[in-house]
């Protein structure tokens, strides 16, 4: 799975509601999965499908979106967090 930080920025740029975004890649259950964590204030359900569509269009991969409250994501400059474990 190759996703670049510029792709995450492109997804966020399409949706002005997104304050911050961090892509988390894991392999729960043995299959790679990516989830875009986004900080969005207020009602979130109306934009979920549009963000998922942007993930698919820009990365050419399937991904999920998880909404976080403003200020919840760390401000450490990390855009992609690969937490996959290979045991």
Euclidean distance between CA atoms 87 and 73, whole angstroms: 28
CATH superfamily of 5-82: ANL, C-terminal domain (3.30.300.30)
Spatial neighbors of 1 by CB under 8 A, at least 6 apart, are: 25, 32, 34, 61
Summarize pLDDT for 41-84 with one digit per residue, the tens: 876 778 999 999 999 999 999 999 999 999 999 999 999 999 88
Question: Between these two residues, 29 and 50, which has the higher pLDDT value?
Answer: 50
Of the candidates 46, 29, 3, the residue with the CA atom closest to the CA atom of residue 21: 3
Please report which confidence band the pLDDT of residue 28 belongs to, taking 50, 70 and 90 as the band edges.
confident
Domain ranges of the chain: 5-82
């Amino acid at each position: 799975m190759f996703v670049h930080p510029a792709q995450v920025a492109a997804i966020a740029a399409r949706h002005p509601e997104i304050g911050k975004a961090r892509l988390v890649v894991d392999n729960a259950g043995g299959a790679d999965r990516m989830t875009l964590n986004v900080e969005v204030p207020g009602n979130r359900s109306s934009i979920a499908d549009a963000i998922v569509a942007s993930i698919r269009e820009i990365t050419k991969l399937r991904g999920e979106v998880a909404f976080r409250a403003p200020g919840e994501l760390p401000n450490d400059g990390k855009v992609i967090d690969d937490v996959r474990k290979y045991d």
